[in-house]
Amino acid sequence: MVKYYDLTKSGIQDFYNLYEENRVNSKKGVEQVVDDILQNVKLYGDTALFDYTKKLDKVDISELGLEVSRQEIDESIGRVDSKLITILQNAASNIMKFHEKEVENSWFTTRADGSFFGIKVSPIERVGVYVPGGSAILPSSVLMNVIPAKVAGVSEIVMCTPPGADGKISPLILAAAKIAGADRVFRVGGAQAIGAMAYGTKFVPKVDKITGPGNIYVATAKSKIFGYCGIDMIAGPSEILIIADSSANAKYVVADMLSQAEHDPMAASILISTDKSLIDDVILQLEFAANLLSRKDIARKSLINNGAAILVKDIAQAIELSNLIAPEHLELCVEQAVNVMATVKNAGAIFCGNWSPEPMGDYYCGSNHVLPTGGTARFSSPLGVWDFVKKSSVIFYSKEGFLKDANEAALFAMAEGLDAHACSINERL
């Protein structure tokens, strides 16, 4: 079901080149569709949102309206099983505590002449959060996007999510929005929701930044509206890479590979191991285990299209390949996992040891599950409080401090041929 590769007698570069060629990132036919949607939302506003919801989501929300009432949000808690509400509250508490550690403060340094310089950290005023719908209901994405924004001090958090067949939003999604602290919720999804938050309509307010995962249409729309507002990242299909040695449990590895395969036919599940017998066991079990899933068709397509089992000569080679791939999720199912973790350079999230499965990061431990995909972990980070603040440089010169630095600054400007810059300084001299 998954492709097998033996890299014990060859270098990793050939495999990586093949992996890059096969990395699923096709936008064929998508960009024109998204361009049309965004243009129509810009021109026709809420009318376009109603039309696209009817056309794409197959539901007429003209009577319900775009915005979910505050009463419906407040009442959602009572419509969800109390045990599940407790779980949501506990997960939210863990996420809050984790992200409070990420808070950055303004800082200033003062000179003896009274001048001071520094950075002023300010929260973004209005943020739009996109929560996917479609084939799965994801209250975890509500918590992961809204809570860091609340910790950062964002004044208003607007949430968009696709409606169900009845035109309503799942009580579970609304309960998560209530617990996390979303201010307004709109029943609109897809590229049209991204356009609405970026441009603003009569009902949906224009936001300063949009965060949250989505399908290829949502991701493409985010890439195109950048500049009208900010975005967190352009997330692609989910990925898991598991590095395992002989201490790993094959059943755990199989379960963890399937946990990503069930997301999307384009998701990638990769095992890299020093143990051939473990690989054989995993490959044997994957076929049977995939057929037991409720989303087995999705999982099977994912494994066939993007699954891999790779034999390497040692853990160092495994880490070298992993650092090239830069996976969204990296599991280290090896002895001395914490020590091995120190050698990892590129990964969205690192799960250390056999008792740290990736879904614990998705739901409960507090780390954020909105992560860089498609190799972007080489230069990107998980969603965090840092995504919901902006920074301003602050410059205050006393007269004494200015006179001390002015001549050299003016000469620097002249060296660049910028006379007016130098004049701005020299006028004060």
pLDDT the model gives residue 15:
82
Could you tell me if residue 391 is inside a domain?
no
Question: Could you give the C-alpha distances from 147 to 53, 175, 211, 362, in angstroms and in order?
Answer: 28, 14, 12, 14
329 in catalytic set: yes
Structural domain containing residue 419: 397-426
Residues 185 and 222 placed together within one structural domain of the fold: yes
pLDDT the model gives residue 27:
59
Could you tell me if residue 55 is inside a domain?
yes
What mean pLDDT is predicted for residues 115-126?
98
328 in catalytic set: yes
Residues 100 and 212 placed together within one structural domain of the fold: yes
Question: Could you give the CA distance from residue 72 to residue 169 in angstroms, rounded to a whole number?
Answer: 10
Residues 17 and 47 placed together within one structural domain of the fold: no
Structure token digits, residue 43: 């021109």
Residues 240 and 225 placed together within one structural domain of the fold: no
Whether pLDDT at 375 is above 80: yes
Least confident range from 3-17, 38-52, 157-171, 207-221: namely: 3-17
pLDDT band, residue 12 (cuts 50/70/90): confident
What mean pLDDT is predicted for residues 404-428?
97
pLDDT the model gives residue 286:
96
Percent of the chain with pLDDT over 90: 91
Give the domain-ending residue among 231, 265, 285: 231
What mean pLDDT is predicted for residues 113-131?
98
Own/partner contacts of 21-28, CB < 8 Å, gap of 24 or more, are 22/306, 23/374, 23/375, 24/236, 24/237, 24/266, 24/268, 24/305, 24/306, 25/236, 25/374, 27/216, 27/220
Could you tell me if residue 414 is inside a domain?
yes
Residues 87 and 226 placed together within one structural domain of the fold: yes
Residues 127 and 63 placed together within one structural domain of the fold: yes
Whether pLDDT at 136 is above 80: no
Question: Could you give the CA distance from residue 100 to residue 156 in angstroms, rounded to a whole number?
Answer: 19
Residues 257 and 360 placed together within one structural domain of the fold: yes
CATH number where 37 lies: 3.40.50.1980
Could you tell me if residue 416 is inside a domain?
yes
Q: What is the mean pLDDT of the chain?
A: 95
Question: Could you give the CA distance from residue 301 to residue 269 in angstroms, rounded to a whole number?
Answer: 11
Higher pLDDT among residues 299 and 133, named by residue: 299
State pLDDT tens for residues 54-109: 999 999 999 999 999 999 999 999 999 999 999 999 999 999 999 999 999 999 99
What mean pLDDT is predicted for residues 246-251?
98
Residues 121 and 46 placed together within one structural domain of the fold: yes
C-beta of residue 117 within 8 angstroms of C-beta of residue 397 = no
pLDDT the model gives residue 134:
67
Residues 111 and 215 placed together within one structural domain of the fold: yes
pLDDT band, residue 268 (cuts 50/70/90): very high
Number of domains in the chain: 3
Percent of the chain with pLDDT over 70: 98
Question: Could you give the C-alpha distances from 120 to 18, 115, 126, 395, 396, in angstroms and in order?
Answer: 46, 16, 18, 10, 13
Q: Could you say which of 263, 329, 331, 358 is catalytic?
A: 329
First vs last Cα of the chain: how many Å apart?
Answer: 76
Residues 157 and 216 placed together within one structural domain of the fold: yes
Could you tell me if residue 389 is inside a domain?
no
Whether pLDDT at 138 is above 60: yes
Could you tell me if residue 167 is inside a domain?
yes
In this structure, the dihedral spanned by the alpha carbons of residues 10, 256, 170 and 187, taken in order and rounded to 10 degrees, is -10
State pLDDT tens for residues 179-198: 999 999 999 999 999 999 99
Question: Could you give the CA distance from residue 97 to residue 48 in angstroms, rounded to a whole number?
Answer: 40
Residues 63 and 161 placed together within one structural domain of the fold: yes
Give the domain-ending residue among 231, 247, 268: 231
Could you tell me if residue 373 is inside a domain?
no
Could you tell me if residue 372 is inside a domain?
no
Q: Could you say which of 239, 328, 331, 358 is catalytic?
A: 328
Give the domain-ending residue among 200, 231, 262: 231
Residues 281 and 346 placed together within one structural domain of the fold: yes
What mean pLDDT is predicted for residues 372-385?
96
